[in-house]
Amino acid sequence: MPKFLHEHSKVLIETPIRIAVIIAVAIIVRAILRRMIDRAVRPTAGGTEVPRLLRPFKERMPGSFLESAGLLSERRKQRAATLGSVLKSATSATIFVIAFLLVLSELQIDLAPFIAGTSIVGVALGFGAQNIVKDFLAGMFMLLEDQYGVGDVIDFEKASGTVEAVGLRSTRLRDNNGTVWYVRNGEVVRVGNKSQGFAQVVLDVPIDAWADVNEASTAMTETARAMAEEDTWRTVFLSAPEVQGVEALTREETTIRLVAKVRPLEQWRTARELRRRIRDRLDALDIDAHPPAEAH
């Protein structure tokens, strides 16, 4: 018996111990790395600070706006969680593949046929799942570049609305009618983000072709700037509204354009209020905002 153990000690003792050590080290390294990723994903200071994982990457949305909308922490949380999930999956796969190859090596198994077979299977799966891979890669770059996130109003051409959730494979958004759209990231050729930086209110106000353009322009400018100076609206306007002049001219009406730069997602509410106030002011000045009767 001792002679048998001595002759087969490598197979019965050394190899199992080596395999056990490889597996144990792989599990420990995986646990450590996953813990580090979890710490990097977790926001600090009660969720008000940027998670460590996102600090190297630029945020395109102004923090003050997202904080006021209550979406900053949710946007960062989803973005960090998705990236963290990718990192943990990639880490686990890498560690287990290396450990598996080391175990096969300890068992004196020739790895060349295995690697060749794995390559063939990988190519076959790649062709079959190329759309999924495309979705994941597009989602990865979208998250890294912060093209859009939770709370953004975006336009996917065929679908537009407010982003509710962002994942690696798809994006969920809800339109103005309440319909929820699921868009595959790999199918997005271009996207319009209406929430980044600033927005513009562009009002084309028609008046009677024979009305005084200067008087109407002055009234529109004074009305818009008075609104921008009010406490309720002061934080909405990013610059003083201005009348750019006559945008269109026909025999029935003259169209005057007013432009105002406002905070993201405030353009619709601001435009509605501006239209109401400008209409009241023009009516008070007896400036007709309708085509003359003979034009009908």
Residues β-bridged to residue 254? 207, 249
Give per-residue pLDDT as tens, 62-88: 444 444 444 455 566 666 776 777 778
Q: Say yes or no to pLDDT of 219 above 90.
A: yes
pLDDT at 186: 84
Fold category of 199-295 in CATH: Alpha-Beta Plaits (3.30.70)
Where residue 278 falls among pLDDT bands split at 50, 70, 90? Answer: very high
pLDDT at 228: 92
Give every CB contact of residue 199 below 8 A, 6+ residues apart in sequence: 261, 262, 263, 264, 265, 266, 267
Q: In the sheet where 192-193 sits, what is the strand order?
A: 180-184, 170-174, 160-166, 153-155, 192-193
pLDDT at 64: 44
Give per-residue pLDDT as tens, 137-189: 888 788 777 788 777 888 887 788 888 888 778 888 998 888 999 988 888 88
Compute the average pLDDT of residues 95-116. 78
Q: Hey, where are the domains in the chain?
A: 2-109, 147-193, 199-295
pLDDT at 290: 58
pLDDT at 270: 93
Compute the average pLDDT of residues 234-263. 90
Residues β-bridged to residue 173? 163, 181
Evaluate whether 147-193 and 199-295 have a shared fold.
no
User: Is 121 or 88 the better-scoring residue by pLDDT?
Assistant: 88
User: Is 41 or 164 the better-scoring residue by pLDDT?
Assistant: 164
Q: What are phi and psi of 122, to 5 degrees?
A: -60, -40
Give per-residue pLDDT as tens, 3-40: 555 555 555 667 788 888 889 999 999 999 888 888 77
Does the structural domain 147-193 have CATH classification 2.30.30.60? yes
